[in-house]
Amino acid sequence: MMAQYLEIKAANPGSLLFYRMGDFYELFFEDAEIAAKALGIVLTRRGKHAGQDIPMCGVPVERAEDYLNRLIGQGHRVAVCEQIEDPAEARKRGGKSVVRREVVRLVTPGTITEELLLDPARANCLLAIARAPQSGGDFSYGLAAVDISTGAFTVCEASQTALEAEIARLDPAEIVAPESLVASPGFARIAKETQRPLTPLGREAGERQSAELRIKDYFGLATLDGLGALSRAEIAAAAVALFYIERTQFGARPALGLPSRLGRDAHMEIDAATRANLELTRTLAGGREGSLIAAIDRTVTPSGGRLLAERVSAPLTDAPAILRRLDAAAFFVDDPALRKNVRAQLKSAPDLARALSRLALGRGGPRDLAALRDGLAAAHALAETLPQSSAALPEELAEAGAAAGAADPTLAARLGSALAESLPLHRRDGEFIRAAYDGALDELRALRDESRQVIAALQARYCDMAETKQLKLKHNHFLGYFIEVPQAQGERLLKPPYDAIFAHRQTMADAMRFSTRELAELEAKISSAADEALAREQTIFDELAALLLAQETEIKRAAHALAAIDVAAGLAELAAACDWTRPLVDDSLAFEIEAGRHPVVEAALRASGRVFVGNDCALSGLAGRGGRIAVVTGPNMAGKSTYLRQNALIAVLAQMGSFVPAARAHIGVVDRLFSRVGASDDLARGRSTFMVEMVETAAILNQAKERSLVILDEIGRGTATFDGLSIAWAVMEHLHEKNRARALFATHFHELTQLAKRLDRLDNLTVRVTDWNGDVVFLHEIMAGAADRSYGIQVAKLAGLPGPVVERARNLLAEFEAADRLSHVDRLVADLPLFTMSFAASSATQAPAADSAIAQAQDDALGEAIDAIDPDELSPRAAIEALYRLKQLRAERR
Ligand SMILES: Nc1ncnc2c1ncn2[C@@H]1O[C@H](COP(=O)(O)OP(=O)(O)OP(=O)(O)O)[C@@H](O)[C@H]1O
């Protein structure tokens, strides 16, 4: 057995091996040590290998999902190895034969389908990445995102700079990529930053020649033309995803939809840092509570919740598409009665897509059939309810309504008549088909049950025959049916004439057990009828599953339609309950918010009986001229960060197709959102607060454009005052002159407000506070102008700093203010050349540090170019071209 174990283990490196032995999955050697620690279960020893004890631990098969869940949650992968023959078969081959076993599945974070292992509110995305060289020496990355639990399959393409943001949008549970890509320095850095499990795949996964073939083969297509114009990188990524799925599922084929392509610019680009800062789908601490999604989620189905999360993560950039979604939400806002009705119907709709996927993988159970029964019934009911509205249905809902009714309406009824009232978890337990559904099954069950009744009646007869009233008929797994009598009676039955009828089976401490030929015959009849009934039920299960899978496309469409209706109705519910308004979204550079609020802070304040003060924001600009920048000054705790974030969130909400928390909002589509908010150390990655801040600021200055929205909170505060002020100053000039993005900039450097004198698209805003008996009172109102002072000392007093410290600080402040820092700044504003001029001068003479940064980038480019060459795949001509390119890169380096 150990030889077999070691062979299977060697064939599945990188995974913990769950080795099936009877009712347990056992783990051995290092696997046992890892699992025992991870699961908190007992580590034992069994036998010896190479003279050493073999560490071992095990988990019962019945509870394996629970343990798998915990292992996957901790980032492990598990190979599940089953017995694939009956132990009796093995015995026939000889006493020492080992039961045949095979790994039937690799369980990895990105390929799970079990309800217990999945988060109902989140998609479980497996992300495959591949890259293809482009003319000019750059690379293009293909990303294929597959959710096996629902069959969703999308592909898109990204440049090196956009790759990180795309990964953050997809929020994968696991990333897979060909080994050669994982080893390349540029990719390795990005992959590490994502902190997601990364699985490198062997050379065959990324082979370009076979990529198209793999996709055609999986989907039974003659050509890929029907999928739209997929790029080479996208085809490669899709093929990598399919390669990995086939490898982990061992022949079982998840019911995947055809890969659908997302245009490069279809979504607002939001990098990982901005997502984290704005707490879109989880808070900085990592939880859902307190995030934007938690504040706006009013959906009533798991798939609706997942679609909403997907939309929050990927706001659209196409104004007509945004309007379509807004129309759907507005329709439900305007018809509260219909909304209520629709939401009530949705509540009874279980997770159609996930149940269907489990069935397709052969992992479904009776409850998945029931989910399809209820889900399809709800879908048909909704398809009938929607058109009953008095107003015309908006396009999105009309399409969803039609899709909801697309699956064969007899399916739900068929399942309804087939399935029993209460259902077991596993199909192997049987008893899930209703009586009178299938004649053959009814007969087998009757045979089994009649024999059981005959047995029950036997007890009285055997009492007479054995001349005792103390005889009982019992059943256990080991003996089957047997007769039990007390010891003294048993002794009697061992003797004639009784021994001719009663055959001794077992002697217990105070009882004896017997059998009879009649009992054995009846037992055989029961068990064969029970076995046959169970087999018949399995056949019926397979027939029902096949019927459902034949309608796979229609059911998936219905599932998606339910989710879309749920999202629209949920957003309408939110808008109505919280008094949100429909934003005006177009292709201008507008950004006009009236009385905007922060959805999460407002909800928190409301919960404690306080009111959020709405604030306006005007950043509109003209194409070619760029948007406006607002510099917000004001005391600590006044509400600057809240104001900055709320405006970014309003843009996200509007572009995902939601109403917004404002009295009025006009937003010209934002194509990239950047935020640098709050300070957070990233010691795990070896970066200080200031370094993180500068890296994120650098990304913004290098990438923001006219259509971007930029939120900068207290840039430069993590270093010495004048360094910080100088950096903040230069950053603002760059934003105004070069990036020209719409931007909000909160700062404690009051000196920066002077810049409004020189930069025409810059406005100063401040948050109103009043001084009441020496204490600061926050009014949270944003108004034009600059703060006269920081009130830092008053806030420190509020926070409970000891009185003498506060007093001393007051005196020091008075002295510092006397030193008159401001007048110095006034001079600066008048004297310093504007950024554009200094920029022109400085780009002529590159600083040495910049030189070395460029050289470093060129080294990287050279390295990447070498990495991209796959000698086995090069034609002679491509080889020559590659050589020229390398020489050229080297020449540039000199
Ligand atoms: N518009 C508002 N209406 C009501 N309360 C608000 C509003 N804005 C902010 N607050 C309250 O003020 C608190 C502080 O806000 P915020 O963190 O935005 O201040 P800040 O000016 O950025 O402070 P600091 O400069 O110290 O970072 C919030 O937690 C919230 O309770």
pLDDT band for position 409 (cuts 50, 70, 90): confident
Average pLDDT, integer, range 734-741: 91
- The answer to the question of whether 640 is labelled as a binding residue is yes
What is the rounded average pLDDT of the residues 739-768? 89
Phi, psi of 151 (to 5 degrees): 90, 0
186 C-beta closer than 6 A to ligand 1: no
User: What confidence tens digit (pLDDT) does each residue in 178-192 have?
Assistant: 988 888 888 888 888
CA of 640 to the centre of ligand 1 (A): 6
In this prediction, residue 800 has a pLDDT band, given cuts at 50, 70 and 90, of confident
Average pLDDT over residues 132-140: 79
What is the pLDDT confidence band of residue 843, given thresholds at 50, 70 and 90? very low
Give residue 568's pLDDT.
Answer: 97
Q: What is the mean predicted confidence (pLDDT) over 15-31?
A: 93
Percent of the chain with pLDDT over 70: 92
DSSP letter at 771 equals: E
Look at 343 and 498; give whichever has higher pLDDT: 343
Q: How confident is the model at residue 690 (pLDDT cuts 50, 70, 90)?
A: confident
Backbone φ and ψ for 433, nearest 5 degrees, come out as -95, 135
| ipTM score | 0.97
pLDDT band at 484 (very low <50, low <70, confident <90, very high): very high
Mutate which of 611, 617, 642 for ligand 1? The one with the most ligand atoms within 8 Å of its CB, which is 642
Residue 115 falls in which region: left (phi positive, over 0), alpha (psi -120 to 50) or beta: alpha
pLDDT number for residue 454: 81
Architecture field, domain 2-107:
3-Layer(aba) Sandwich (3.40)
- Atom index in ligand 1 nearest the CA of residue 605 equals 31
Q: What is the mean pLDDT of residues 589-611?
A: 94
Ligand 1 centroid distance, CA of 286 (Å): 21
Question: What pLDDT band is residue 664 in, cutting at 50, 70 and 90?
Answer: very high
Taking only the tens place, the pLDDT of each residue in 354-371 is 999 889 888 889 999 999
Answer yes or no: is the C-beta of 780 below 6 A from any ligand 1 atom. Answer: yes
- Per domain, the residue ranges of the chain are 2-107, 126-264, 297-431+551-577, 439-541, 579-833, 848-893
Q: Per the annotation, does 639 bind a ligand?
A: yes
* Residue 613 Cβ < 6 Å to ligand 1: yes
Ligand 1 touching residue 641 (CB < 6 A): yes
pLDDT digits (tens, 9 = 90+) for 539-579: 999 999 999 999 999 999 999 999 999 999 999 999 999 99
Assess whether pLDDT exceeds 80 at residue 684. no
What pLDDT, on the 0 to 100 scale, is given for residue 679? Answer: 54
Decide if 297-431+551-577 and 439-541 have a common fold: yes
Average pLDDT over residues 608-617: 94
Top CATH class of 579-833 equals alpha beta
C-beta 636 within 6 A of ligand 1: yes
Segment holding 615, helix H or strand E: strand 615-618
Mean pLDDT, rounded, of the chain: 86
How many other CB atoms are found less than 10 A from the CB of residue 44?
Answer: 13
pLDDT of residue 192: 83
Give the confidence band of 204 by pLDDT, cuts at 50, 70, 90: confident
CB atoms within 10 A of CB 879: 12
Q: Is the pLDDT of residue 381 over 80?
A: yes
Residue 702 has what pLDDT? 87
Q: If we measure between CA atoms, which residue out of 129, 127, 125, 155 comes closest to residue 141?
A: 129
pLDDT at 683: 45
Quick one: pLDDT band at residue 894, thresholds 50, 70, 90? low
What's the rounded mean pLDDT across residues 439-462?
85
Is 278 or 697 the better-scoring residue by pLDDT?
Answer: 278
User: Can you tell me the distance from the alpha carbon of 299 to that of 658, in angstroms, rounded to the nearest whole number?
Assistant: 13
291 φ/ψ angles, rounded to the nearest 5 degrees: -90, 170
Where is average pLDDT lowest: 207-211, 365-369, 664-668? 207-211
Atom of ligand 1 nearest to the CA of 795: 26
Pairing state between β 511-515 and 503-507: antiparallel
Averaged pLDDT, 689-702: 80
The top-level CATH class assigned to 297-431+551-577 is mainly alpha
pLDDT at 390 over 90: no
- DSSP-derived letter for residue 872 is G
In this structure, which topology does domain 439-541 adopt according to CATH?
A: MutS, DNA mismatch repair protein; Chain A, domain 3 (1.10.1420)
- Asked whether 766 lines ligand 1 (CB < 6 A), one says no
Does 272 score more than 90 pLDDT?
no
Indicate whether residue 639 lines ligand 1 (CB < 6 A). yes
Q: Answer whether 638 contacts ligand 1 (Cβ < 6 A).
A: yes
The residue whose CA has the least distance to atom 8 of ligand 1 is 639
Q: Are 191 and 198 in contact (CB under 8 A)?
A: yes
Which CATH number does the domain 126-264 belong to among 3.30.930.10, 3.30.420.110, 3.10.129.10, 3.10.20.600?
Answer: 3.30.420.110
**Ligand 1 pocket, 768 CB below 6 A?**
no
| DSSP per-residue letters across 322-388 | HHHHHHHHHHHHH-HHHHHHHHHHHHT---HHHHHHHHHTT---HHHHHHHHHHHHHHHHHHHHGGG
Q: Which are the contacts of 155, defined by CB distance < 8 A and separation ≥ 6?
A: 142, 143, 144, 145, 230, 234, 237, 238, 259, 260, 261, 262
At 609, the amino acid letter reads G
pLDDT of 681 > 50? The answer is no
Average pLDDT of span 837-861: 50
Q: Which of 738, 384, 429, 410 is nearest to 551 (CA)?
A: 410
Q: What is the pLDDT of residue 893?
A: 63
Tokens of 761: 């698209």
> From the CA of 49, how far away is ligand 1's center (Å)?
65
CB-based contact 613:780 (threshold 8 Å): yes
- Check whether 636 is labelled as a binding-site residue: yes
